Amino acid sequence: MRWVTFTQSTSSGERTGLMVDGRIHACGAGTTLLSLLGDDGTRLAAEGDELRRDPHDVFELDAIQALAPIPRPPTVRDFYAFEQHVRTARQRRGLEMDPDWYELPVFYFSNPYAIGGPDVDVAIPPGGVEMDYELEVAAVVGFGGADLEPDEAERSIAGYCVMNDWSARDIQRREMKLSMGPVKGKDFATSIGPVFVTPDELEDARRNKSYDLEMTATVNGVEYSRASLADIFWSFGEMVAYASRGTRVETGDLIGSGTCGTGCILELSMVHGIDRYPWLQPGDVVELSVERLGKLRNRVVAGAPLRPLR
């Protein structure tokens, strides 16, 4: 199933709907995608079957504005799961791969209040000049648990969407020199969408630890990045299991894959030079596409000026 959270000009507030034959079959007012999660997928499947038979409303795609599928996730964890991206970035800094990377699927917490959807402008954070995108896929936890095994954690995943983990590299670099972060270099914006796709829609593309889905990024219509989700080293089940170790994951938690190989300007400029791959500027349009998950388009705009803390 392919789900959308959206607004529509003739109705007030957010709506949730199922994509059926190129149109949106909408749930009743007040039903959110998050409210349909929390079990093994039975509730979501039942709602989908009902919407195919008897939708509350039907909208054409050009009559709606898609939002982030889960506009307010309880938590946002972003992992570091593609070896090519990690290896390239470390080699260019004169570093070997740390053996622990193959033992620990590390992540950081980002900001659930900064989630945005497709076609929403993204402002460069105050003081930032090295604005970057990150081409990722996000999984959404369908039911919570603690100390999950990877197979159980994989079953807990309700669906997937495209994710852009926007980054201010100059701010991030300063923060991480202090052995903390990334914080303000990351927490200003995370874009997800345009659709939420359940795992059954992807099963025929399964390969290795994930799915063989083509991932691409363009800036102002020029292709920058190309990879496959099947290149991932850590499966989403393994990542969710690690996130749940000694604590809990809960319904609606967002789990980012981390950047795929070639999937950001930082990596590309390290290999090919900053003149060929300059940092994003106000007015640039970034489009991230993942096969079967759709296209996430956002424009970069100027941000607020930096105000001193003292």
Residues in the chain: 310
253 contacts 159 by C-beta, under 8 angstroms: no
Instruction: Kindly state which CATH superfamily the domain 76-301 is placed in.
Output: Fumarylacetoacetase-like, C-terminal domain (3.90.850.10)
CA gap 84, 99 in Å, rounded: 15
Per-residue pLDDT tens digits for 296-305? 999 999 999 9
Cβ neighbours around 94 below 10 Å, total:
6
pLDDT at 136 over 70: yes
pLDDT at 274 over 70: yes
**Domain range summary for the chain, segments of one domain joined by +:** 2-66, 76-301
The partner residues of 296 in beta bridges, in order of sequence, read 288
CA gap 116, 261 in Å, rounded: 24
Per-residue pLDDT tens digits for 147-192? 999 999 999 999 999 999 999 999 999 999 999 889 999 999 999 9
179: left (phi over 0), alpha (psi -120 to 50) or beta: left
Per-residue pLDDT tens digits for 38-97? 999 999 999 999 999 999 999 999 999 999 999 999 999 999 999 999 999 899 889 999
